[in-house]
Amino acid sequence: MNEPLLEFRDFGFKYNAQSQPTLYDINLTVRRGEKVLIAGPSGCGKSTLAHCVNGLIPFAYRGEITGSVRVNGRETRDLSLFEISRTVGTVLQDSDGQFIGLTVAEDIAFALENDCVGEPALHDRVRRAAQIVDIESHLLHAPSDLSGGQKQRVALAGVMVDDVDLLLFDEPLANLDPATGKAAIELIDDIQKETGAAVVIIEHRLEDVLHRDVDRVVLMREGRIIADMSPDRLLAGGLLTENGIREPLYVTALKYAGVDITSDLHPHSIRTLTLSEEEKERVRAWFRAAPPSPPKPERPVLLDARDIRFSYDNGRPALDGVSVQVERGELMAIVGRNGAGKSTFSKVVCGFETQQEGTIAFLGAEDWAGLSIKERADHVGYVMQNPNQMISKTMIADEVGLGLRTRGVPEEEIARRVEDTLRICGLRPFRKWPVSALSFGQKKRVTIASILALEPEMIILDEPTAGQDWRHYTDIMEFLRELNRRGVTVVMITHDMHLMLEYAERAVVFSDGEVIADDTSAAVLTDREVIRRANLRETSLYDLALLCGIGDGRAFVQRFIDYEREARA
Amino acid sequence: MTNIFNYIDRPSPIHRLTGATKLVCLLLWSFAAMSTYDTRLLAVLPVISFGLFAVSKIKLRDVSFMLGFTAVFMVLNNVLVFAFSPQHGVTLYGTRHALFSLGGNYVVTKEQLFYHLNLVLKYLASIPIVLLFVCTTNPSEFAASLNRIGVKYTVAYSVALALRYIPDIQREYHEISQAQQARGVEMSKKQTLVKRLKSAGAILIPLILSSMDRIEVISNAMELRGFGKHKKRTWYMGRPFRGADIAAMVLCALLLAAAILLNIHNGGRFWNPFA
Amino acid sequence: MKKSPVRTIVAIGIGAALFFVLGRFVAIPSPVPNTNICIQYGLLAFMAAIFGPVAGALIGLIGHALIDFSYGWGIWWSWVIASACFGGLMGIVAKRFRLADGIFEKKDILTFNIFQIIGHVIAWGVIAPVLDIVMYAEPANKVFIQGLVGGLVNIVTTAIVGTLLCVAYAAAKPKQGSLEEEKDD
């Protein structure tokens, strides 16, 4: 066995600003050529652990260290941030924040420039790093011309120019669509095999990371490591779901079917999964036991958009003849890759942009085209992805009442409606708190509450669960479902396939400014052509159906969805 | 909007000069234009700069939008100067040749008109050259150039960061302001001035708070990649000086020298044809 | 919040970008027809109050110069330098504030506004007009009145926008202390 590259021994850390330590008793070893996944719910300390690996702790964030952490055999506190960065290359979650250069080439060159590397080595090494991540045809492009996946590859090239021994990825999948995320995991794997570097990935989306093999999964909870084992062994136990990490969907399905998961089944990937004939029959039996799907209720059309065409400043059309109908009381998803037109569509509906052609009708609101942004907001509320971009008041009650106040509603009426909305949103216990004291998920609720206070018939949410761990994801989605039961029509713009599967009754798929599919989530996620064009992935449930000899994959997926909804209701 | 600064990439001798050269030339030229009111030199400079435009293959219509701004600004400033100080020329040149009266103190004099001519020439001497610089210098070269002429590289890099993040911040501002408008926060004329400013605050607060987070992320990313490690750094976009660069800088230095010599010769910044 | 030289450099870059975006693209209609009010000085005062005099001065300098560059009317150095001076002056008072710890009380609001008024008076009442006279030989009464009007507008916008930003920023800083959930009745 080779020397450890990274070694934590009885390590603990407490931020100066906090009264309790964030990390306790960390013992972890990573050797050259190993690939380790660190998983855990929000607030478990995994980001702090990453800071301890790359040297931001103790050099940028002050605090108290106990025990030892060695990189390449030396205590990090005896090194400098710069020396550590020679060994550890970090790819941050925020690919826009990490993209510092004005162009791809300059960004890749950044570390070399700081190291005073001159010509011709500078240009050569940049080109080589760009080739490894396959971005060398875009060297002169600005970040605004790149997709999220391309920016991430630039970030990777930017740390690879330094020939680091350990690559550290902080939530690499958070901002990527499913297909790009899959490609990212494949690229990381290929690079590791080629360079022999060690790879540490911090991510709570377990199934996506396990698309390629990892050596070990380290599970964290409340600042401690509670498991450090092979993925097969981890999946065989119940540790994941107990700790707020979602297990792969095919594992969940197997459990529903009554199959006992052991590490002998090699459950870490659908490709390696081996089932006996008896186990397959169990799955088939579970599938056959499906009760008939309930009939779709008849509902009036609430929003009727027809043949919408729109382009930004004489550019390529962003919407090219889009027609979408939303029924009253529906919970639906709009999906598609970045730039497919889904956000533009919602902006046109809300009046932020005006279509060049086409009509929009809204039930109960005459002359939709003649309404201002503010007037449309009385019917359709829009919730941005990042709650921090919406909140402008210090106190929760003021934030929720803002829209009412600008509409000149009398104060007693405001007080009553704010109170009601806070109760519905489960925020009443916090009504006198400042917004800053809330968690991200709670802030999200505040922004939804501030929209609901206007009592719109319909709300549109942009990526309602982005960056959330499973528990927060479930909180937010159950809350939206509850609102939906109360009669609010909910439209979600999302990349998240789980969200579609578990919550959306219907998915409208955008691609290049057109609607390419409008069907049930199960149908969309089992249609190869739609999946390809929308940058989605085939769900592993479909592969499980194939493995068990079930011909109708779509019906199998639908069975899973119905079973889950039944179980939750 | 990725090209707010209107960089136009065309093959020309001026584009081939390094950014640092163009920056030095711009500074020398600006000092020359700023230091003197010698009408003869001020008349020569615009002629040269329009010649340079031809060499650089930048067409008038490429910059018509910016020239429009300049023209409005120039007219406005001239009107203001005349409105406030119709006899400024008389004070400057020490003589008074009245032409006609517009009533009250507003007597138009030859001196005043001559002063306005100088003012216009001064604009023409100093503005087109800035446009030329903006149109022919790749923003990516800008930070490297500042560092080359002696600005500390850390400060030069903050200019690069500003250029890098302007489009991102602009997009974010736009999105926030749309969402706030939907909630009824507006800055239109329907509101009182104080309300308008408070509305601006409602849009700015989320923008500023998220920018503070952005500062944190970017500074981490930069430190993790070794920014600030050494006293110096190299620049991917930096280029070595060639003969043409040296020649251009020498010529601009000569212009500045001419301006200074003329000022000495004239015994002041003004060339006085009335004396 | 961590303190490091790199952080200040980034703050200058992002501050200048914000200054630019506000100054170039954000137009608040003013009572005078066809003129707009600039709110970027509220931002500049706020950034200077957090990051200090060097950052304040450089944000003003770079941000204002970039605005001039983008309009193409040449760099109006006298006003650019005045912006830088205002940023620098506001940064000098930064030490009095504890914004990073989430503290910005009534007396801080008062200090902030007294200094911003002094800062604007020096920048637009003295530096800009004097430089206009020295560099461009413009008539004194014109430049002083111009400076005074500009300064007055900037004082009003800084008083509202700058104070709002400081208060909001301080409030957004999580503070130690006990918050209790209220029981639903």
Q: Is A276 on the interface with C (CB under 8 A)?
A: no
Q: Is the pLDDT of residue A567 over 90?
A: no
Residues of chain C with pLDDT under 50: 1-2, 177-178, 184-185
The enclosing H or E element of A46 equals helix A46-54
Q: Is the pLDDT of residue B210 over 80?
A: yes
> Using CB atoms, which chains have 3+ pairs under 8 A with A?
B, C
B208 CB neighbours in chain C (<8 A) are: 18, 43, 46, 165, 168-169
Domains, chain A, in order of start with CATH, read 4-239 (3.40.50.300), 248-289+541-569 (no CATH), 301-540 (3.40.50.300)
Q: Determine the pLDDT at residue B1.
A: 39
Pick the residue from chain C with its C-alpha nearest to A424.
C184
pLDDT band at A518 (very low <50, low <70, confident <90, very high): very high
Burial A174-186 (b: 16+ CB within 10 A, else e): bbbbbbbbbbbbe
Tell me the fold of C5-172.
Arp2/3 complex 21 kDa subunit ARPC3 (1.10.1760)
- Do residue C179 and residue A60 have CB atoms under 8 angstroms apart? no
Q: Is C179 on the interface with A (CB under 8 A)?
A: yes
Q: Determine the pLDDT at residue A110.
A: 95
DSSP secondary structure string for all residues of C131-178: HHHHHH---HHHHHHHHHHHHHHHHHHIIIIIHHHHHHHHHHS--SS-
Measure B133 CA to nearest chain A CA, in Å: 19
Q: Determine the pLDDT at residue C103.
A: 86
Q: Is A434 on the interface with C (CB under 8 A)?
A: yes
Residue of B172, B201, B221 with shortest CB distance to A100: B221
- Span A385-413, pLDDT tens digits: 888 888 888 889 999 999 999 888 999 99
- Do residue B34 and residue C135 have CB atoms under 8 angstroms apart? yes
- Strand (E) positions, A512-561? 514-519
Q: Is the pLDDT of residue A326 over 50?
A: yes
Q: Is B195 on the interface with C (CB under 8 A)?
A: no
Q: Is the pLDDT of residue A7 over 90?
A: yes
Mean pLDDT value across chain A: 91
In percent, the amount of chain B with pLDDT more than 70 equals 98
pLDDT band at A457 (very low <50, low <70, confident <90, very high): very high
Pick the residue from chain A with its C-alpha nearest to C175.
A437
- Span B11-60, pLDDT tens digits: 999 999 999 999 999 999 988 988 888 999 999 999 999 899 999 998 88
Residue of B84, B209, B219 with shortest CB distance to C7: B219
Cβ atoms of residues B106 and B86 within 8 Å: yes
- Do residue A406 and residue B181 have CB atoms under 8 angstroms apart? no
Closest CA to A31 of A236, A172, A197, A184: A197
B219 CB neighbours in chain A (<8 A) are: 60
Q: What is the mean pLDDT of residues A344-357?
A: 93
Q: Is B7 on the interface with C (CB under 8 A)?
A: no
Q: Determine the pLDDT at residue A184.
A: 92
H helix intervals, A245-341: 249-256, 277-288
Beta pairing, strands A224-229 & A216-221: antiparallel
Q: Is A113 on the interface with B (CB under 8 A)?
A: yes
Tell me the C-alpha to C-alpha distance, in Å, between residue A272 and each of A90, A213, A216, A241, A266. 30, 10, 16, 21, 6
Beta pairing, strands A216-221 & A35-39: parallel
- Do residue B208 and residue C73 have CB atoms under 8 angstroms apart? no
Q: Is C4 on the interface with B (CB under 8 A)?
A: yes
Q: Is B134 on the interface with C (CB under 8 A)?
A: yes
Q: Determine the pLDDT at residue A424.
A: 86
Measured between alpha carbons, how far is B33 from B37 in angstroms, rounded to an integer? 8
Burial A255-279 (b: 16+ CB within 10 A, else e): eebebebebebebbbbeebebeeeb
Beta pairing, strands A166-170 & A88-91: parallel
Q: Determine the pLDDT at residue C179.
A: 56
Measured between alpha carbons, how far is C147 from B180 in angstroms, rounded to an integer? 33
Residue of B162, B228, B270 with shortest CB distance to C17: B162
Residue of B67, B158, B188 with shortest CB distance to C58: B158
Higher pLDDT, A207 or A365: A207
Q: What is the mean pLDDT of residues A78-105?
A: 91
- Span A265-302, pLDDT tens digits: 999 999 999 999 999 999 999 999 988 877 878 899 99
Residue of B2, B139, B202 with shortest CB distance to A392: B202
In percent, the amount of chain A with pLDDT more than 90 equals 68
Q: Calculate the CA dihedral of residues C152, C12, B207, C89 and round it to 10 degrees.
A: -30
B-contacting residues in A 375-414 (Cβ below 8 Å): 376-377, 381-382, 384, 386, 388-392, 402-403, 405-407
Q: Determine the pLDDT at residue B5.
A: 76
Mutate to test the interface with A, among B142, B176, B236 (most CBs of A within 10 A): B236
Q: Determine the pLDDT at residue C185.
A: 43
- Do residue C75 and residue B198 have CB atoms under 8 angstroms apart? no
Q: Is A435 on the interface with C (CB under 8 A)?
A: yes
Distance of CA A117 to the CA centre of its chain: 37
Mutate to test the interface with A, among C14, C101, C161, C180 (most CBs of A within 10 A): C180
Q: Is B66 on the interface with C (CB under 8 A)?
A: yes
Q: Taking CA A498 as the corner, what is the angle to CA A492 and CA A504, rounded to the nearest 5 degrees?
A: 40
The domain ranges of chain C are: 5-172
pTM of structure: 0.91
Q: Is B251 on the interface with C (CB under 8 A)?
A: no
Q: Determine the pLDDT at residue B2.
A: 47
A433 CB neighbours in chain C (<8 A) are: 179
- Do residue A158 and residue B225 have CB atoms under 8 angstroms apart? yes
- Strand (E) positions, chain B? 98-101, 107-109
- Do residue B219 and residue C29 have CB atoms under 8 angstroms apart? no
Q: What is the mean pLDDT of residues B182-201?
A: 79
- Do residue C63 and residue B211 have CB atoms under 8 angstroms apart? no
Q: Is B27 on the interface with C (CB under 8 A)?
A: no
Across A227-231, B127-131, C8-12, C115-119, least confident range: B127-131
